[in-house]
Amino acid sequence: MPLISIIMSSYNHEKFISIAIESVLNQTINNLELIIVDDSSKDNSRRIIQNYSKKDSRIKILFHEKNKGIAKTLNDGLEIAKGKFISFIASDDVWSRDKLEKQVEILKKNENLIVWSEGKIIDADGNPTGKLFTHMHDASKKKKSGNIFKELIQANFIFGSSLIFKRENAKSFIFNTALKYLNDYQFVVDLARRYEYFFIPEPLAMYRIHGGNTILLDKEGWQIDQIIINDYFLNKYSDEISKSVKSKICLRSGIIFSSMGKKSKAMQYVYNAIKANPFNPDYFFYLFFISTNKNGFIHNFLRKGYKCYEKLIQKN
C-alpha cells in the first residue's frame, strides 16, 4: 500500500480539531502521514496538535508564527508531503473510518483520477443536519465524474475534505495566495482541466457548519475573491470555454460589482458578457438590475430573482 499524505489546515478550531485528527488516525488504512499546518492559531489548537504528535509518529507538524492564510498553509503542507497520494481535511471536518480505503480501491484501477465523495453536513455538535454537500451547492443533477471542467468553471461544488489524488499530478499546481478564500476553487478547476474526476455518492466525510465558518463572517472578502477568480478563468481558459460560459462568468462579476454599488464596473462586465454571447435576451434583466438603486425595492426584488434564476441554471 503506497503512502498517503493527508494535509490538515488548522486555525482556531480547538473545539473540533481532536475529532478531525482522530478521524484520520483511525482510518482502516495505516500507511499514512498526517501533516498538520497550524496558521498561528490563537486558541489551544497548537497544544492539542503537539499532544497528538507525541502519541503518533505518523503526525508531522508545522506551526506558522504569523498568520499566512489558507493558501500558504496548504502549499507548505504540499511541499513537505512524501506520499504517492494527497488528501486534504479541514480541522473542523470529519472522515468516515473507511474513507481512504474506499477511495484507494478506485485509484487502483486508475491512479490518475481525482477521487472525491459526497459529504454529510453536520452542526457544531456533530449532529447531522439532514443535508448533503452537493445538495447544499445545488449540484444534485450536475455531472460529477469524468471530464467536469465545464461544470466546475461555472460553479464550485467539490468537497475539499473528500479529495484524494496522485501527488505527481499536482506538482505544477499551487494554491493561489492572492485568493483569501477561493484558492481551493482555482485548484480543483486547474486539476479538472487535465484530469478526470470520480465521484463516490456515499458520504465519506462530514462538513461542519458552525458560527466560525469564514463564508458566514466575510461576505465581501468572498465576493472580491470571486471577481479575481472569474478574471483568472477568463484569461487562462479563454480559448477553451464556450461563448455562453464566458458570458455567464462575466455576468457573475457584473452582479457582484453591482451589489457593491460599483455600477460602472458592473456595466463593463455586462458589456463583455454581451460581446461574448450577444444572442441572450436575459441581458435586459441584468441591465435593468444594475441600473436600479442598490438599496431600492426593485433592486432587492431583482437580486432575489437573480439568485433563483442562477440556481435554476446550475441545476440544468
Determine the pLDDT at residue 267. 84
Q: Cα–Cα distances in Å, from 316 out to 85, 157, 313? A: 34, 14, 5
Determine the pLDDT at residue 307. 57
Question: For residue 201, which of 103, 71, 269 has the smallest C-alpha distance?
Answer: 103
Domain 4-216 has CATH 3.30.1490.20: no
Please name every residue paired with 135 in a beta bridge, in sequence order, or none if there are none. none
Task: Copy the grid coordinates of residue 57.
Answer: 509518529
Determine the pLDDT at residue 316. 47
Q: From its phi and psi, is residue 27 left (phi > 0), alpha (psi between -120 and 50) or beta?
A: beta
In whole angstroms, give the CA distance from residue 67 to residue 27. 30
CB-side neighbour CA atoms (13 Å) of 30: 2
Residue by residue, pLDDT tens for the chain (316 residues) are: 899 999 999 999 999 999 999 999 999 999 999 999 999 999 999 999 999 999 999 999 999 999 999 999 999 999 999 999 999 999 999 999 999 999 999 999 999 999 999 999 999 999 999 999 999 999 989 999 999 999 999 999 999 999 999 999 998 889 999 999 999 999 999 999 999 999 999 999 999 998 765 555 688 899 999 999 999 999 999 999 999 899 989 988 988 898 888 888 988 988 898 888 887 766 656 665 565 555 554 455 455 555 555 554 444 4
Buried b (16+ CB within 10 A) or exposed e, 51-72: ebbeeeebbbbbebeeeebbbb
In whole angstroms, give the CA distance from residue 33 to residue 27. 11
**88 Cβ contact partners less than 8 Å away, ≥ 6 residues apart:** 6, 7, 8, 9, 74, 160, 161, 163
**229 Cβ contact partners less than 8 Å away, ≥ 6 residues apart:** 179, 182, 185, 186
Determine the pLDDT at residue 93. 97
In whole angstroms, give the CA distance from residue 72 to residue 88. 14
**Could you tell me if 30 and 63 are in contact, meaning their C-beta atoms sit under 8 angstroms apart?**
no
Look up the pTM and report it. Answer: 0.88
Determine the pLDDT at residue 122. 97
Provide CATH 3.90.550.10 ranges for the chain. Answer: 4-216
